A and B are shown apart, each in its own frame.
Chain A
Amino acid sequence: MRRCGFTLIELIIAMALGIAVLFVATAAVRMAMQTMQAANRLSVQNQVMRTGFLLANEEIDFWTGFDEPVASSQPLRGTVDRGLGRTGPDTTYALPFTELTAIPPPNELASGGRGFAVDSIDPLVYRETVFRDTAHGGSLLLKDRQRGFDQRPYQANDPRRWYRGQIMEPDSGERKCGRYGLVSNRHLGPVLGFGDDHRALGNFSQRVPRDGHKAPGVQILTGPYGPYGGLDWDLGSGGALKARTFTWYENQTVYAFEALGTYGMFDYLPSNHWYRSYGGSGYIEANGGTPEGDYATGIASGTIAPVVDRYVRIDERPDLRFRGFITNANEPWYVEYQSLGRDPSTFATSFGSVALNDWFAFQIGKDANGTAYSQSSMIWRSHRSLAGPERHWFEYVGGLRETTWVRNLLADRPSEWPALRMELQRGVLRGRQFNLARVRWTDLQSNEEQEVVVTSLGTSFRGARQQRARGGGWAAWYAPGDSRNSPHLDTPP
Chain B
Amino acid sequence: MISRRGFSLFEVAVSILVVAVAVLGFALLLPAALRTHEQSRFSLYANAQALSLIESFATVPVANGGLKCHLEAPNPWDIPAGRRGFDPDLEIKSSAIRGPLRPVPLDVAYRIDSAGDEIRALLDAGGYLYYSNPRAVTQHRVEAPDDPRPPNETIKLLVGVHGAAQVNAVANNPWKAWPYYQPYPSPPGRKAQPTHASAGWEGDSYEADADPDLARLWETDLAATDGSWDYDRGANKSGIGWYNWLGTQHERWGKSLTGMGWLQAKGQFALALWYAWRKGLPADLLFGRADMADVDAAYRNGDWVQAQRFLAHAAMCMTRHFALEATPARPGQSMGGVRTGSIWWPPPVTGEMYGTPASPGLLAGIAIPGNDDPSLFSDRSLPVPNNLTSLLSILPAGLGTPFSSLAPPSGHPNPLPGHFYLTHDMIVNYHETSLAMVMRHTAEWPYDLQVPRPLNRMIMMDHPLMEFDLIPDASHPILSGQIAGVSNDTNIAASVKALAVQAQQWRPLAAESFVNPGRDLEGVVFDWPTLEGNRAHFTLTQRFAATERAREMVFWAVPWTDWEDWETAPSAPVDASRYFRVRPDVHPAGKMTDVYMGTPWRDYTANSTAMWFDGHQWSARNPEKPSLFAFPVAGLPTDSNVLKETIGADNRHDQNQQEAWAHRFSEQTGYRIADQGYRPVWSTLGDGTPVSDPKMVFSGRYGADRNGNQLLDRGTLPASVRLRATEVARFVYYDPRLTLTVR
Contacts and interface: CB of A to CB of B under 8 A. Distances in A.
Interface in A157-176: 157, 159, 161-164, 166-170, 172-176
A256 interface: no
Interface stretch (A79-87, A96-104, A396-404, A485-493): A396-404
B350 interface: yes
B34 A38 contact: yes
Interface in A357-403: 389-391, 393-394, 396-398, 400-401
B64 A390 contact: yes
A346 B65 contact: yes
B391 to A, nearest CB: 21
B428 A453 contact: no
A348 interface: yes
A209 B52 contact: no
Interface string B122-151: 000000000000111111110100110111
A346 B41 contact: no
A299 B488 CA distance: 67
Given A32-B30, A389-B65, A451-B151, A332 B179 contact: no
B565 interface: no
Interface stretch (A17-25, A117-125, A469-477): A17-25
B443 A164 contact: no
A175 B63 CA distance: 33
B320 A241 contact: no
A290 interface: no
A455 B201 contact: no
A208 B251 CA distance: 9
Contacts of A341: 197-198, 455, 458
B56 to A, nearest CB: 7
A482 interface: no
A46 B41 contact: yes
B351 interface: yes
A349 B653 contact: no
Given A46-B40, A241-B425, A453-B136, A198 B342 contact: no
A182 B33 CA distance: 74
A164 B327 CA distance: 27
Given A164-B435, A182-B319, A455-B51, A225 B324 contact: yes
A321 interface: no
A248 interface: no
Interface residues of B, number: 147
B153 to A, nearest CB: 6
Contacts of A145: none
B61 A348 contact: yes
B593 to A, nearest CB: 14
A46 B69 CA distance: 46
A425 interface: yes
A64 interface: no
B648 to A, nearest CB: 12
Contacts of A243: 424, 428
B44 interface: yes
B31 A221 contact: no
A391 B137 contact: no
Interface in B291-312: 291-293, 295-296
A275 B345 CA distance: 32
Contact of A31 (B27, B65, B199, B436): B27
A28 interface: yes
Contacts of B20: 21, 24
A303 to B, nearest CB: 16
B150 A174 contact: no
B543 to A, nearest CB: 24
B4 interface: no
Contacts of B68: 329
A93 B138 CA distance: 30
Interface in B360-382: 361, 363
A225 B319 contact: yes
Contacts of B653: 391, 393-394, 397
B230 interface: no
Interface residues of A, number: 140
Given A32-B27, A162-B456, A208-B255, A134 B293 contact: yes
Nearest to B742: A432
Interface stretch (A106-114, A212-220, A408-416): A212-220
B255 A220 contact: yes
A65 to B, nearest CB: 19
B346 A351 contact: no
B169 to A, nearest CB: 11
Contact of B37 (A46, A211, A431): A46
Contacts of A132: 291-292
B16 A21 contact: yes
Contacts of A39: 30, 33-34, 37
Interface stretch (B257-265, B396-404, B567-575, B687-695): B257-265
B655 A219 contact: no
B19 A21 contact: yes
Nearest to A224: B343
A356 interface: no
A458 B71 CA distance: 35
A207 B250 CA distance: 8
Contacts of B223: none
B128 to A, nearest CB: 21
A32 B71 CA distance: 65
Interface in A187-226: 194-195, 198, 201, 204, 207-209, 211, 213-215, 218-226
Contacts of B363: 226
A127 interface: no
Interface in B233-278: 243-244, 246-247, 249-259, 261
A464 B17 CA distance: 65
Contact of B31 (A21, A28, A35): A35
B725 interface: no
A346 B252 contact: no
Contacts of A443: 151
A227 B324 contact: yes
Given A32-B26, A346-B62, A198 B346 contact: yes
Contact of B255 (A159, A204, A344, A460): A204
Interface string B644-657: 00000101111100
B316 A178 contact: yes
A43 B153 CA distance: 16
Contacts of B19: 21, 25
A394 to B, nearest CB: 4
A287 to B, nearest CB: 16
Contacts of A351: 61, 65
B336 interface: no
B457 A307 contact: no
A223 B323 contact: yes
A244 interface: yes
Contacts of B134: 453
A244 B256 contact: no
Contacts of A129: 432
A444 to B, nearest CB: 12
18 contacts: A21-B20, A25-B23, A28-B23, A31-B30, A53-B48, A168-B183, A174-B256, A177-B313, A204-B255, A215-B350, A308-B344, A346-B65, A347-B741, A349-B743, A394-B141, A432-B743, A434-B55, A457-B58
Q: What 9 pairs across the A-B complex have the smallest Cβ distances?
A: A226-B324, A178-B316, A176-B254, A394-B653, A35-B30, A42-B37, A168-B200, A449-B150, A393-B141
Given A346-B63, A452-B154, 6 more contacts: A42-B34, A134-B296, A178-B320, A347-B739, A453-B135, A455-B137
Interface of A: 10, 13-14, 17, 20-21, 24-25, 28, 31-32, 35-36, 38-39, 42-43, 45-46, 49-50, 53, 129-134, 156-157, 159, 161-164, 166-170, 172-180, 182-183, 194-195, 198, 201, 204, 207-209, 211, 213-215, 218-228, 231, 239-244, 271-272, 274, 307-310, 326, 328-329, 332, 334, 336, 338, 340-349, 351-352, 389-391, 393-394, 396-398, 400-401, 425, 427, 429-434, 436, 438, 440, 443, 448-457, 460
